Every structure is written in C-alpha cells, then in structure tokens.
Amino acid sequence: MKFGVFISAQQPRSDDPVARFREAVEQARLAKQAGFDAPPPPSLSVAADQSLQSLPLLARLAGEAPAW
C-alpha cells in the first residue's frame, strides 16, 4: 500500500502567493517525514482562486524532500 498527498497550489486571490508557497514547502517537508510515499502533486480545483504553476512547484517540492 502506498500513500500520496496533494499539496494545494491554490489560494484565494487576496492571499500572498509567496507565503502560501512557503507553506506548501513546509507541508511537503512534513509529508515526507510523516511517511508519505510520493512527491506531492500540486492540485488545482477552484476557478475563483489564483494558483502557483504546477510543474515548477512540483519540481521545487521534489527537491525540497531529497529522499523522494
């Protein structure tokens, strides 16, 4: 059994994307330490929000958790 986790790449438009990005990095780091198996694919879901670019974010998060 494998487990993965999505990291939300989205945030309300009023949010600071830099702060949300740093939180995403922290979530990825914790997810790795918590034992999740796969790098977190950034998820996009809600149209009214803004979003970090998925592929650059995924590459960045993959580098943040070296054992992945």
Partner 1 sequence: MVIVPVGIAAAMLNPVQTPRRSPASTFMSEGKVVVRHRHRLPRRSNTRLRHDRAPTGAAHAGGARIDQAGCGPEEVVTFLRASSSRCMTPPARSAVQSRTADLDRRQCRPGGAPHGTARLFLARQPARRIAQRSSGNGTAIASAGRGEPPDATARPICLELHVAPTHEEAVETARPFLEGKYAAYAEWGQDKVLPGEESFRVGFDDLARDRFHPRTAEEVIEQIGASGVRRLDSNYLIFRMGWPGMQAATILRVIEMMGTQVLPLFSTTNTAAADGCRPNPIVIRRRPVSTARSGSRPSPDDGHFCDTRHSRLSVVMSAERAKVRRRCPKISADGRAFQLLRDAEPGFPAVRERYQSLSVG
CA angle at residue 14 from 11 to 20, to 5 degrees? 40
Cα dist from 39 to 1, 2, 8, whole Å? 15, 12, 13
Binding residues for partner 1 (CB under 8 A): 1-8, 10-13, 15, 17-23, 26-27, 29-31, 33-39, 41, 43-64, 66, 68
- Minimal distance, residue 23 CB to partner 1, in Å: 4
Whether 24 contacts 57, CB under 8 Å:
yes
- Minimal distance, residue 25 CB to partner 1, in Å: 8
- Minimal distance, residue 14 CB to partner 1, in Å: 10
